[in-house]
Amino acid sequence: MTDLKPPVAKRVPTTTVLHGEVRADDYAWLRDKTNPEVIAYLEAENAYTTAVMAPTEPLQKQLYDEILGRIKEDDSRPPVKRGDWHYYARTEQGKAYPIYCRKHLTLDAHEEIFFDQNEAAKGLEFYQLGGFEVSPDHRHLALLVDTSGYEEFTLRVLDLTTREWLPDAIEKLGFGLAWASDNATVFYITSDAAKRGNQVWRHRLRTERSADASVYLDDDVLYNVGVGRSRNGGWIHLVSGSFSSGETWLLNAHNPESAPVLVRKRERDVEYDVTPGNDWLYLLTNLDGAKNFKVMRAPLATPGEWSEWLPHRADVFVEGVDVFANHLVVLERHGGLRKVRVMMLASGDDHYVEFPEAAYGVNLGSNPEFDTALLRFTYSSLVTPDSVYDYDVRTRERVLLKRDEVLGGYDPSLYAVERLMAPARDGVMVPLSLVYKKPLVRDAKRPLLLYAYGSYGYTMEPTFSSMRLSLLDRGFVYAIAHIRGGQEMGRGWYDDGKMMKKLNTFYDFIDCAEYLVREQYTASDRLVAHGGSAGGLLMGAIANLRPDLWRAVVADVPFVDVINTMLDESIPLTAQEWEQWGNPKTQEHYAYMRRYSPYDNVEAKVYPRMLVTSGINDPRVAFWEPVKWIAKLRTLKTDDNTLLLKMEMGSGHGGASGRYERIKEQAFRYAFMVRQGGAA
């Protein structure tokens, strides 16, 4: 392996001037995947990665077998009742995709397989569903299908009675589907040139696309359009939202050709989500300075007349509201953990669902029935596998329907969970969630994997992964840093980790790592950092800021060429992102982004060992971002530390679509971590 030479990308000097600064980009030519030289370079990088990782192939195989061996391959999810039918998905050994099934009236009825994704994906390297909706009368299945990973979907409709595909095949669509109540009309979304969902269309089954009618169009590049059907079945939601404001129109689902009605005109820095009940609309909003959000309501007949229903509280972040016929479920966050609050409409009584562990994650299920007293949710912790419950909101009794089985004799008592608070450099305390195999002696000898995301207000819940056991059983401590940029500690946590405060995200991660080293959970020569997408930006930033702190860094589909990407409005989704990172055409924004953009801050110095992954069809973080970053690192870094690029040549942002290929990808990633972290 000592004779292996990494590929070196040629340098094509390219300069631009922005705000008086000359910007050099010697690797801009790598953006063009139609260029045979670019493909040849990517193939050379992949060949080099394969060769460097060849000694770990037995370990990769062992990890793959371990991960697969813990999974019950023949498995099913608890059925969900919708009308007279019970719907569920199941998997079979050796098959990469789910099989979708249903039973009529009772769970003892004959199983009907109404869609087998394995059959649909035969002969295809990639197969992803961007929409999956059964019509209200249970007669038709509407699908959005992507076979490249580029998230460009084709609408197909299957007659579940005759098993015939309808002639409807509408291409180049975005995410989002909704059925009207007539069971013959479906609403879909198209995108603009930058892949921003911008228009909702009404389509009548068995008609030509040319006859489809536009029902909503938003030309503002900061806004993304969505469509959905309300739980009570009465309304089609037409939603347009940016990262800081939005608006909703309601269209009568029973009269799909009627005109939509605006709930409230968009207003700067005002967000709201609408959920219809029997007679009222319930609105989750930050109106009037409600930073942590509150709930208001309005009569269905006069949707613009809002009145306060659940007031704002400075110490409680309201994440969501689910409305049912006789009760509401409010998702709140207290002290970094999600709470489920049930509020009865008739009596006004309310209570919280109790959970047993100090750190956990809970997510509501689909709950498609409007008039029901049962609430489906999934509970998990770092040591408790996904557990699906039905909870009776009247009696407060819960029934465990299913807990994911971990094969091979998993014993949660062998592992321990800790919830720590690490001091950031500005005095803020940052939560850390840890899990490890007992006993733990804090002697700095354990390898530790520190993971975070820290963007878009996305909260990283401390939940279970059977894959992760392969690291824990080799001595790793696994830690999640709940850094600013997420919403673990409320909306202010998000606001303090974006735009002109984005450096807090990177500093928090570094400060968490230093705390773990200082407290001897690990040492720098055993510390591995991991993040993906915007978390990959985090990886690029911390590699530049503190390269000495990490033994290794793993960056998946990393957003690392921040300024060049934010300058190019033709790149998918760029304009909307100005509300997250800033617009580099604004001098103040540019100067701030210039301080952390990973590609712009690569220097001639020692870097940690690094594995970078990407997909050539990625529409969210273009493949050339990590490719250019790798090429620049190879040119400037002053060390011989391992630097690997693994480019998937047939997938997109989420990696492989089949479960076995995803396990293979994880085994590869884990093999790198185990090797670099010095684990057993």
Q: Which residues of 11-42 are buried (b: 16+ CB within 10 A; e: fewer)?
A: eeeeeeeeeeeebebbbbbbbebeeeebeebb
Q: Indicate left, alpha or beta for 668 from its phi (over 0: left) and psi (-120 to 50: alpha).
A: alpha
Q: Are 611 and 552 spatial neighbours (Cβ–Cβ below 8 Å)?
A: yes
For residue 110, give the DSSP letter.
P
Q: Are 174 and 195 spatial neighbours (Cβ–Cβ below 8 Å)?
A: yes
Is it the case that residue 668 has pLDDT exceeding 60?
A: yes
- Residues 657-675, mean pLDDT to the nearest whole number: 94
For residue 486, give the DSSP letter.
B
For residue 209, give the DSSP letter.
G
Question: What tens digit of pLDDT does each residue of 105-123 get?
Answer: 999 999 999 999 999 999 9
Is it the case that residue 222 has pLDDT exceeding 50?
A: yes
Spatial distance between the Cα atoms of 241 and 272, rounded to a whole number of angstroms? 9
Q: Of residues 135, 533, 614, 651, which has the active-site annotation?
A: 533
Number of C-beta neighbours around residue 519 at 10 A: 12
- Residues 584-607, mean pLDDT to the nearest whole number: 98
Position 573 confidence tier, pLDDT thresholds 50, 70, 90: confident
- Identify whether 533 is a catalytic site residue: yes
**How far lies 599's CA from each of 389, 593, 625, in Å?**
46, 11, 8
Position 680 confidence tier, pLDDT thresholds 50, 70, 90: low
Two tokens, residue 80: 């969900």
Question: What tens digit of pLDDT does each residue of 494-503 get?
Answer: 999 999 999 9
Two tokens, residue 344: 């009865």
Q: Of residues 218, 511, 561, 618, which has the active-site annotation?
A: 618
- Identify whether 618 is a catalytic site residue: yes
Question: What tens digit of pLDDT does each residue of 424-462 get?
Answer: 999 999 999 999 999 999 999 999 999 999 999 999 999
Spatial distance between the Cα atoms of 224 and 242, rounded to a whole number of angstroms? 6
Question: What tens digit of pLDDT does each residue of 54-72 get?
Answer: 999 999 999 999 999 999 9
Spatial distance between the Cα atoms of 467 and 660, rounded to a whole number of angstroms? 13
Two tokens, residue 54: 């060849």
Strand blocks (E) in 583-656:
609-615, 643-648
Q: Are 571 and 5 spatial neighbours (Cβ–Cβ below 8 Å)?
A: no
Which domains does the chain show, CATH number per domain?
15-68+409-677 (3.40.50.1820), 78-120 (no CATH), 124-270 (2.130.10.120)
* β-pair type (246-252, 140-146): unpaired
Q: Are 359 and 419 spatial neighbours (Cβ–Cβ below 8 Å)?
A: yes
Predicted pLDDT at 1: 44
Q: How far is CA 529 from the centre of its chain?
A: 19
Which pTM value belongs to this model? 0.94
Is it the case that residue 679 has pLDDT exceeding 90?
A: no
Beta partners for residue 241, in sequence order? 224, 246
